[in-house]
Amino acid sequence: VQILLKLWRNGFSLDDGELRSYSDPTNAQFLESVKRGEIPLELQRIVHGGQVNLDMEDHQEQEYVKPRLRFKAFSGEGQKLGSLTPEIVSTPSSPEEEEKSILNAPVLIDDSMPATKIQIRLADGSRLIQRFNQTHRIKDIRDFIIQSRPAFAATDFVLVTTFPNRELTDESLTLQEADILNTVILQQFK
């Protein structure tokens, strides 16, 4: 689901909806979740566990003006069929290929440990979503990006959190220590 959050001088709006006051405790809680890079509970209920893309526009220099209503051809819900990421199963035919497949293996998850999902918005505009254990390190995210997109191996890039933007410089921190559980991470070229 694509949602547009517009910040105004006197409040905020979602998808050209009604103005929501900053002083309302429910709205303050909503914005705090966004600041932490989490999906607000209100949006989680709307998408029923699906993917949410939250875009933001800063209009804090302007007062809110109610937009004119536009005609919407379809306002119902849709359902996706199948898996978001297909499972690819292959068997290596030689020891060399077996070693290669171990190097290109997805992130190894310990199901007995707490896990989290991280969405990675790559500098080329594409996105990756991957489960990690909370004990994985930021370096594991970098390695996952390079495994998934080998072209980035020779490129100097940084990992940045979304709103508020914070560069993840200490790659030895665990995902939990860096406070980036269930968040979106941006890849930016240096």
Measured between alpha carbons, how far is 78 from 48 in angstroms, rounded to an integer? 12
Instruction: Break the chain into its structural domains and give their ranges.
Output: 2-58, 115-189
DSSP one-letter string for the chain: -EEEEEEETTEEEETT---B-TTSHHHHHHHHHHHTTPPPHHHHHHHTT---EEEEEEETTS---PPPP---S--S-----S-SS-------SSHHHHHHHHHT------TTS-EEEEEEE-TTS-EEEEEEETT-BHHHHHHHHHHH-GGGGGS-EEEEETTTTEE---TTSBTTTTT-TT-EEEEEE-
Q: What is the pTM of this model?
A: 0.46
Assign a CATH topology to domain 2-58: Nucleotidyltransferase; domain 5 (3.30.420)
Structure tokens at 28: 């303050």
Is domain 115-189 annotated with CATH 3.30.70.2190?
no
pLDDT by residue for the chain (190 residues), tens only, comes to 788 889 999 999 988 889 999 999 999 999 998 888 888 888 888 777 778 888 889 988 999 888 776 666 666 666 666 555 544 444 444 555 444 433 444 788 888 999 999 999 998 888 999 999 999 999 999 999 998 888 888 888 999 998 778 888 899 999 999 988 899 999 988 8
